[in-house]
Amino acid sequence: MKRRELIRHLEEHGCTFLREGRKHTVYYNPSNRKTSTIPRHTEIVDFLAKKICKDLEISPPK
């Protein structure tokens, strides 16, 4: 899955940008105070995308 698609999915489910790291972007889910990092690769493996959604406690992308 493309990184931009994953970020769009996270933002549609209420997650917000928290900060940039050196090699990762950190997103925050304010409803349950969970955070997760997203690597700065153009392609993100589907398994990793599902894990990021699980960490933030939102539904996985389709």
pLDDT digits (tens, 9 = 90+) for 7-23: 999 999 999 999 999 99
Q: How many CB atoms lie within 10 A of CB 57?
A: 13
Q: Using one digit for the tens of pLDDT, what is the confidence trace for 30-45?
A: 999 999 999 999 999 9
Rounded to whole angstroms, the Cα distance separating 13 from 29 reads 9
